Chains A and B, each alone.
Chain A
Amino acid sequence: MVGSKKYSKRRLAGRYVLATLLLLVMVYPYLYMVLNSFADWAQVDRQLVPSKFSLKSYEWLLTGGEVGIARPWMNAFFNSVIVSVASTFLMMLFGIMVAYALSKLKFRGRDTVNNFVLFHMFFPAIILLIPNFLIIQKVGLYDTYWAMIIPKAISLWAIFMYTNFFKAVPDAFIEAAKLDGASDFKILYKIMLPMSKSITAVIFLFLLMERWTELLWDMIVVRSDNMLTLNVLLSQMFGPYGSYPGPLYAASVLLTVPIIIMFAIFGKKFKEGMQFSLK
């Protein structure tokens, strides 16, 4: 426990055991997923730990197996990558730009915009689902990548986080840079961004994760089989693949691994940023 050195070694060991047990319970579903994706098909969902393994499930990911179009899984994977990367990039870019304006550029109407962002944030998003879908349909973006990217190009949360963070950067830095003849773009790029590295890791990971696992929106604005994202395809295959759960587990692994890799890359910065953002 906090700050006390009086705990005996035995109690400390007990703590590690307890923490490890808790962790095992928490990550067991992931293990179950990975094991089943490699399991022989006769054993999928039949054993806690399979004893016979095969790569057939992954083969199906590459070939499409007996169901649906030729290579639906890999195609969906690339759709997911395109949509998530574009969307996350825009959310970051616009988040930083707008936050810089709201925190450091004194323009007329700033308070109004600021209040509008807060008003927007407090509004339950569900009310916008139907009209936003109709807008996409009316402007002819239905069933395109743009339908999945444009309405998800702005994250209020990112704007909010960056605005709070930039406010904490002393104005003196910016004024000094301006005296040296730096433009606002340069200030943003050379001062604000490097200073916000750890918070950027947090915002980036949360945005990417949420975009990558989005279901409802991607599901309603896209219809063609070759346009689906991996998450939507997985969701739709629940039925048709009912008797072939193996490939579904393999697809789940395919859907989970990239985000874990990103998390591993930015993990250290992420922890710093979390601690900062929670203060």
Chain B
Amino acid sequence: MINSKKKLVVIGNGMAGINTVEQILKLTDKYEITVLGSEPHPNYNRIMLSYVLEGSKTIEDIILNDLQWYEDQGITLYTGKMVRNIDGERKRIHTEDGLEIDYDLALIATGSQSFILPIPGKELPGVIGFRDIADCTAMLEAAKTYKKAAVIGGGLLGLEAAKGLVNLGMDVTVVHLMEDLMERQLDREASAMLKAELERQGIKFAMQMQTAEVYGQDRVQGLRFSDGSELEADLLVMAVGIKPNIQVAVQSGIETNRGIVVDDLMKTSMPDVYAVGECAEHRGICYGLVAPLFEQGSVIAKHLAGADTEGYAGSVVSTKLKISGVDVFSAGEFITAPEHTVIVAKDEWKRTYKKVLLRENKIVGTVLFGDVSESASLQKYVRQQTLMTDEIYGQLMGTGCSKDGAKTLSAETMADDEIVCGCNGVTKKAIVDAINENGLTTVDEIKACTGATRSCGGCKPVVEQILQYVLGDSFKSAAKQGICGCTTLSRDEIVAAIKTKGLTTTREVMNVLGWQNDEGCSKCRPALNYYLGMINPDTHENEEDSRFVNERLHANIQKDGTFTVVPRMYGGVTTPEDLKKIADVSLKYNVKVVKVTGGQRLDLIGVRKEDLPKVWEELDMPSGYAYAKSLRTVKTCVGSQFCRFGTQDSMGMGEVLERKFERLDFPAKFKLAVNGCPRNCAESCTKDIGIVGNDGGWEIFIGGNGGIKARLADSLCKVKTDDELIDIVAGVMQFYRETGQYLERTSEWVERTGLEEIQKAVVHDIDNRKALIERIEFTLKQLEDPWKKIIHNADSRKNLFEVVTPSMV
């Protein structure tokens, strides 16, 4: 058979070109495809170069389509081939090195290049852009030999480059012409918050500085600014913008402006020649992000496959900065103008900022900083110019209680061909089909199957919503997994088996219950060790090797590998003598920082591992268990001893409770607070157990949390006497110890178990309360101060803490 396929030649092997090809292949096989790319690599995810530079990905990780893929698809690929021009008369493409290729249809997808400022010295070695693998490798190399880097440009690209270079250990200054960072995506407020955060992460800034010249002998040595001042740098990254690659079009007589001019079907002025991606200019706009390129590619694909398509009408772009710990999002119109109605929430304590702009009550733009959990819904509202309603307002600005319901709804109403994952061009339909056809139940499976969430991760919340919406009720049961990847058994099944089968060690549990991974993992081993100890408090032998480092070494590990020591201070009360001792020991062992914690104690931060036992010995104080899944602190207010409002002795009660229940293991860390009166100065509402004194007794609250999952405590009951108070506290603690899942805080436990269940078990059922108290008392008897124990045990002192230093090398 004579080949009846039409020849499609793609110029540019980048993200837009290959994505268009992928979309074409999904719709039709009537093209014989050839791809020419000037880079020596197969198609890779340019977005992720930031991660390569930052060190969390390698070049191999970011390859999107390897050479095998091209072969499997029957695509002829030329890498390292630069196209010179298109001969529209003969329908032939010419490369720089003399190759000629005939086409029926041609697609220009040549992207853009870094814009290099036209200043003296720009051609010195060490001056580069941030665009491709070559630039990225150049930076990685430079960081090995040089120390000082400058990045010109405080936009998305410049900041990501700067963060990467900081991670590589360089001293980095970002030079920015404007007053605000990312001024094309953020407003002044968000920009200032961003700058503060990045400074915290080690990036320096030279704002409102215009670079006049790059100086250096054989290599860049520094910059000179227009005001005459200088900045030393032995690497200079220019990230001031991009310039569409239009040479091929220019050489071929195709109409260009800033980019290659295209119509709504992405056709250029030359018949049968299309353009897509950053090189294309549509209705006056050249887009510099991937999401629009995929929308353009989809139009071309449908058109070339002969399917109906409406044509490309432009995109609403949104931005996400890929720097860990810095969440920034913006979409649509974000600079306030007189015609906008603005909704703003700024929280300097949580360092969050949220702004939504309305025009004629329609949502037209947004800026988020610090908390971007609403970005998915907001992006959709902006794109669809949704009318603001009370419901949406509540969802965005309210307490967030109705969040789940509203979100599921948005996945449901989303159009099939709406792109969910902008980075990888995955539509809602593709995800829904993948779930239905392959029986997927997790985001990871969807990632492996469709590529969604594979890049910046910004789309993950929406992917989760779609999963939830498609699976409906079966979502929960499908998501029902074992306590970790090593087993399919749940916490309750394991605890029951330990009891009925009389299992005594983690190893035994794993053997008998058929663990897939012989020795378990960092998730199940500590959990099993806890359950075993909770069930058999007298006979269980704590397994050091199944404890997370903090609990094994009885100190908090810090990011540099040093440790923090926190002595106990019962009820947050100390003495001048103890303070003096703490000060002396801190000086002697070079403690880096002495910090007052949120729980009213002193952190001695930065102790070397090998010094820990000596520090404990010399402090001669009990361990504060600041590192453990255990009773941490009992926060107290001043109370009736001194406070003019106090009706109960909160300091006294705090101390009693802390002394009684210290050293007890819990499923997760455990905090108490005791207040002398309802003014609640010690903030009981965010503690696992909060106690508030009143005129005739105490009120007990449980399940509060000020951490990851902020939650106000529920009122459990009121009691009249101190004894009753201690009994109820003991009952709640033991009930939680016995029924909580490992790492589950009481805030989650109370919600899962139900307040009424707990009231029944601890408050109303007196016999049960007694039994709980008996068991907790029995456990309390077994406990010993870990610091003392180690000080007196030469073996564990040596094996756990000492560093071996062989004398001769």
Q: Do A and B come from one complex?
A: no
